[in-house]
Amino acid sequence: MPAHATLTDLLAARAPASVALRAPGRAPLTSAALMALVERTRARLNALGIGRGDRVAIVLPNGPEMAAAFLAVATAATTAPLNPAYREDEFAYYLEDVRAKALIVLKGKDTPARAAAARLKVPVLELVPGEAAGEFTLDGGLSGSVANPGPAGANDVALVLHTSGTTARPKIVPLTQANLCASAFHIASTLALSPEDACLNIMPLFHIHGLVAAVLASMHGGGAVICTGGFDALRFFRQLDEERPSWITAVPTMYQAILARADRNVHSLARAKLRFLRSSSASLPAPVMLKLEETFCCPLVESYGMTEASHQMASNPLAGPRKPGSVGLPAGPEIAIMDEEGNLLPPGEKGEVVIRGPNVTKGYENNPEANVKAFTNGWFRTGDQGAFDADGYLTLTGRLKELINRGGEKVSPLEVDNVLSAHPAVAQALTFAAPHPKLGEEVAAAVVLREGMEVSEQGLRDFAAQSLADFKVPRRIVFVPEIPKGATGKLQRIGLAEKLGVRF
């Protein structure tokens, strides 16, 4: 069981002299200094009339201040981190949807979030960075009386995030202090994190992956987070060289961009002392995993997570068999496979992945219809299709809403992705459904070729036909310089046919 039920307890348990936050070119922030910052921030928010349960939106660039603001605010109120790239109307939508009581922005930073807050009369708090990494003060706001002061309790909501909204209106996912602490414990345990570890965070900190896997798991393990300004393939190897992290967590698209530049950075790779790499938030093609392990001379741990589970659900073990193409063993909540009628299925049978446990949200906010669909007999339906093998490893076969229905034949786009990605000329592949007048849907794929390599559409289709049944082979392959991605680096499968103009 998790050792801590609140973020305050989790942070207070760290060795005071240990380093909590680092950033290139900045003095490190110790755990004692972080706790002092937490207490000052809580007192400041309480003085402004903001307490437990009140929503504070945070719009900050990736970096140590964003990490520290999340940690400090979440101990006293409910954080709502938002993507800094949103436009004014998007900010207005999210600020109103989460009922933000305040907005934190970087002092002197021009952002459309300011105009959105003004429209909604949401007070703006200016974050002023200090000298050490993550150190800050808050300016602005008016004094007010607080209804629920003091440190948040285990059942208080610490974080609200929206689902991606690729198939429907975004839903609000509330995650409690206990949810986040449980997930931090699970990840730290899976990765055997210790005070000797330092994670190079290149993930955005408005997304569950970066917030929990990089920041909170590191805090739980007693180690440090190296806070970068976000992922930049051109800067990555210099950061690797200068900061000497012990591990990295990222999404497959980032790793593929890193691999593309690896040959030009052999000296940095030779000096790197990584204990492991971790990949999550999307499926990692097996050839890419093997190439990463060979390039970095360390194991790659692929894991499986989602916002509703406070991130991690399953993971390949660090010390044990890692199965390429599998997301590993349950590593947090209980996991089962369920059929459409709500029956749990035995190993080997394919169905919907369902979860339950201390890191799983109790339900979407103000959305009873979605909750009825999402929960069956106490299990949360993930929307992912998969199966367990005889050894208890989980393999995902696709998103249920992404499955391609080709005239009644169901095609898993993930399966086709993996086959196309195995071709030596292919850097990235994403399979998707395209409208077809007779079949309803047809199989298509977007492909990015490796630099300096070529393959024709027919050549790639012939390659796929060696491993796939005829009905699964893409009838159209579009070669593109880059596959469209969402704000968190996930490839956007849904809607890709329309974006690329693919019809039959």
pLDDT, tens digit, for every residue of 263-310? Answer: 999 999 999 999 999 999 877 888 889 999 999 999 999 999 999 999
Residue-wise pLDDT tens digits, 185-202: 999 999 999 999 999 999
- 7-12+26-176 placed in CATH 3.40.50.980: yes
Which range among 291-295, 464-468, 470-474 has the greatest average pLDDT? 291-295
Range in 55-59, 224-228, 462-466 the model is least confident about: 462-466
Q: How far apart are CA 502 and CA 16, in angstroms?
A: 58
| Nearest Cα residue to 180 out of 212, 224, 218 | 212
pLDDT-based confidence at residue 437 (cuts at 50, 70, 90): confident
> Dihedral sign, CA of 70, 190, 335, 8?
negative
List every span in the chain annotated with CATH 3.30.300.30.
404-500
Whether the pLDDT of residue 64 is over 90: the answer is: yes
Summarize the confidence of residues 238-257 as an average pLDDT: 94
pLDDT digits (tens, 9 = 90+) for 337-386: 999 999 999 999 999 999 999 999 999 999 999 999 999 999 999 999 99
CATH 3.40.50.980 in the chain, residues? 7-12+26-176
Q: Is 424 exposed, middle or buried (0-12, 13-18, 19+ CB in 10 A)?
A: exposed
Compute the distance between CA of residue 500 and CA of residue 498 in angstroms, rounded to an integer: 5
Cβ density class 43-57: b for 16+ within 10 Å, e for less: ebbbebbbbbebbbb
Q: What is the secondary structure of 375-417 as a DSSP string?
A: EETTEEEEEEEEEE-TTS-EEEEEETTT-EEETTEEE-HHHHH
pLDDT score recorded for residue 406: 85
Fold of 404-500: GMP Synthetase; Chain A, domain 3 (3.30.300)
Which of 284, 248, 230 has its CA nearest to residue 428? 284
Give dist(CA 60, CA 71) in Å, integer: 13
Tell me: pLDDT of 469 over 90. no
* Percentage of the residues of the chain whose pLDDT score is greater than 90: 81
Mean per-residue pLDDT of the chain: 93
| 136-139/224-227 β-pairing | unpaired
Fold (topology level) of 190-399? Rossmann fold (3.40.50)
Is-contact 52 150, C-beta < 8 A? yes
248 has pLDDT over 50: yes
Least confident of 36-50, 420-434, 486-500: 486-500
CATH 3.40.50.12780 in the chain is located at: 190-399
